[in-house]
Amino acid sequence: MHESFTNVRERDWDTDADGEIRLAVVGCGGFARGVVLPSIEDCDYLTPTVGVSGSESNREAAAEHGLETTDYDGYADGDLADSYDAVYVATPNRLHLPHIETAAAQGKAVISEKPLDATSERAEQAVETCEQAGVPLMTAYRMQTDPLVRRLREFLDDGGIGDVTRFAGDFTFPVLAGSRGPDQWRLDQELAGGGALVDVGVYLLNTTRFLLGEDPESVSGHTRTSGPFSDVDEHVDFQVVFPDAVGNFSASFSGHPTADYTIYGTEGTVRVYDAFQPNRGRRLVVETGDERFEIEGAGGGELREEFDYFAHAVLTGQDIEPDGRDGLTDVRLLEQVYASA
């Protein structure tokens, strides 16, 4: 096993900084309440203090996590602005921009869910607003802070499988499963900016860009849709062409849930299973000419890592790698996939 994987949990960005920041959660929907809030309870550098929602029941749920709460007007008016140092925007995609603008006007650092907004024009405006206000902006690409993914990047950089020539992968998230019906915003073209590509395909795109450390030269794709998905892409199959590698990816809003990718190199392959589910331990299978090793249940816990990484950067002034421009790059690429489809 390569030395990159001997201590998967090690943080390669943590300078043991002093202090912590207080976070307002803007948009207390299912993901923020059910996944994020429980994940960030024991962060080292961050405490959630405020919850913003238009729904009374969501505000009540946030209050149970010990948060002060307000609605969107209260947030826009800065009612609780003295109670937070940074803002996490977790609303539907098309509503990110105004909340980012509010945070920037209040001088608060921002971490925004992906995609940065529903269109590249709006995402660009979000980036420029934060740059002009001098506030940090992070796009919430949690895979970039997944411990296993960071070790994997080291391993690839170190030539672990020779030169990387290709990626392949699929992320299928059955969006109508469980209690989520067809009225959700993810199936609304205007609110979401797209369907499976925007919501889950972006994981494959961004993770590949992160692991390769470069941007594609071109993208193309094919979309399919049916029934309740008619407004957005239910299935997308897309190709991402880098200077020396190609990614062949797919994403779906229906079907048996899967999330995995394979990295092909001149001297080996890496397969990552359970690749994108929140906080899930991942399974990694590495094959090279010399050896085969498997790591089970490594990585995951990436949401706590993500928010600590963000807070640590805010406290220390360190560069944020998945910054606003990283998010903007993806929104532009997603639009190019749709244009070709």
**Ordered alpha helix ranges (H), the chain:** 30-31, 37-39, 56-64, 72-76, 96-105, 120-133, 147-157, 189-192, 196, 202-212, 302-316, 324-340
Q: How far is the CB of 209 from its own copies (least distance, A)?
A: 17
Of residues 17 and 246, the one with the C-beta less far from its own copies: 246
Rounded Cα distance between 233 and 236, Å, is 6
Q: Which two tokens stand for residue 272?
A: 């990552």
Residues 232-271, interacting with its own copies (CB under 8 A): 235, 237, 239, 241, 246, 248-250, 252, 254-256, 258, 262, 264-269
Q: 160-172 burial by CB neighbour count: b if 16+ within 10 A, else e? A: bbeebeebbbbbb
**Cβ–Cβ contacts within 10 Å for residue 215, how many?**
14
For the CB of residue 244, give the shortest distance to its own copies in the complex, in Å. Answer: 8
Q: Least separation, in Å, of the C-beta of 294 and its own copies? A: 13
CB of 241 to its own copies, least distance (A): 6
Q: Which is nearer to its own copies, 73 or 267 (CB)?
A: 267
280-339 residues in contact with its own copies (CB under 8 A) are 287-289
* Among the listed residues 87, 9, 101, 13, the one whose alpha carbon sits nearest the alpha carbon of residue 46: 87
Tell me how far CA of residue 318 lies from CA of 15, 18, 55, in angstroms: 10, 14, 36
55, 73, 78, 224: residue in contact with its own copies (rule CB under 8 A):
224
Nearer to its own copies, 27 or 216 (CB): 216
Q: Both tokens of residue 328?
A: 């903007």
Among 22, 222, 280, 325, interactor with its own copies by CB under 8 A? 222
The tokens for 126 are: 């979000």
Residue found by looking up tokens 């950067």 in the block: 313
118-177 residues near its own copies, rule: CB under 8 A: 161-162, 165-166, 168, 170, 172
Minimum CB distance to its own copies smaller for 237 or for 335: 237
Measured from the CB atom, the residue of 47 and 165 that comes closer to its own copies is 165
277: contact with its own copies by CB under 8 A? no
Q: Quote the least distance from Cβ 336 to its own copies, whole Å.
A: 15
CB 161 within 8 Å of CB 267: yes
Q: Is 254 helix (H, G, I), strand (E, B) or coil?
A: coil
Task: Output 64 or 157, the one with its CB closest to its own copies.
Answer: 157
Please give the size of the binding site for its own copies, defined by CB under 8 A: 33
| Interface positions with its own copies (CB under 8 A) | 161-162, 165-166, 168, 170, 172, 220, 222, 224, 235, 237, 239, 241, 246, 248-250, 252, 254-256, 258, 262, 264-269, 287-289
